[in-house]
Amino acid sequence: MENFTLSNGVSIPAVGYGTYLADCDSAAVVENALRAGYRHFDTASFYGNEAELGRALQQCGAARGMLFLTSKLWKTELGYRQALDAFERSLEKLGTDYLDLYLIHWPRPDDLSAEWAELDRGTWRALEELYHAGRVRAIGVSNFLPHHLRSLMETAEVAPMVNQIEFHPGYPQTWNVEFCKAHGILPEAWSPLGRTRVLDDPFLRELAAGYGKSVAQLCLRFALQRGVLPLPKSSAPERMAANLDIFDFTISDADMDRILTLPQFGWSGLHPDFPKQQP
């Protein structure tokens, strides 16, 4: 497995196993993922599966030191004190004494009148403390747009190392990805397969066939070549393995540009902060 290197030098496996709505209560699924070669597991308090994932990893006898574990605090856990408490709950559920990466899941609560900038800054102070205390190896955010990041970085002592966002050929968030890269923040992709919606696209099918790969593999490779770390999820052993078999081909620059011109759709756009059209 190849790696990306975060701005603080921490190495992160270049493809992670996404667990949102995946069957990670089943030790068999986790065992298949480990056997396929996954070491990087992405969960969140909101997913409600931290305890199951932690248990399954322990049942499989996976040594903690070979794993890269990410979790996230939810919109209802924003704020300095709340974030510290949320972190302890996640550790307890996962059955570990440190995280590799801890993220703010969304920049603001559902209450749109809430002062999100202050909440995020308080939350970030808590994450910085956890980071300085060695309880987490890297800290970051998720679903942040450049204006959220700019606001956070005005007072941050430690810059975010990751921004996990929706990213696939139907929603490549080019302006956001470029902003992250310019600031040394690694973008990660949730739903890198567009929740399967892009898999039947005739253009992508033809393109993938030309590389002797599936559309899913093309999408994951597209993420890597954009400098974005993909977090695919699958409960089928053969697809788990196929989703890691993406290091033996290169999409040409011309094809990368073509993929970026596909019609846009995405779920983040339902969030009030997100532009309906990419700027």
Give the footprint of ligand A2P on this chain (CB under 6 A): 18, 191-196, 199, 214, 216, 232-236, 239, 242-243
Q: Give the CB-side neighbour count of residue 138, counting CA atoms within 13 A.
A: 22
- Cβ closest to ligand A2P, residue 91 vs residue 259: 259
Structure tokens at 247: 């290091």
Separation between Cα atoms, residue 139 and residue 10, nearest integer Å: 11
Does residue 105 have a known ligand-binding role? yes
- Cβ closest to ligand A2P, residue 82 vs residue 235: 235
Under 8 Å CB-to-CB from 88, ≥6 apart: which residues?
Answer: none
**β 162-166/186-190 pair status:** parallel
Count the Cβ atoms, other than its own, within 10 Å of residue 157.
9
Write down the least CB distance from residue 219 to ligand A2P, Å: 8
- Cβ closest to ligand A2P, residue 65 vs residue 202: 202
Write down the least CB distance from residue 262 to ligand A2P, Å: 15
Give me the catalytic one of 17, 20, 38, 47. Answer: 47
Let me know if 171 is a catalytic residue.
no
Residue type, 203: F
> 114, 273 in Cβ contact below 8 A?
no
Write down the least CB distance from residue 22 to ligand A2P, Å: 7
Residue type, 261: T
Binding site residues for substrate, as ranges?
Answer: 105
Binding site residues, as ranges?
Answer: 105
Q: Known catalytic residues? A: 47
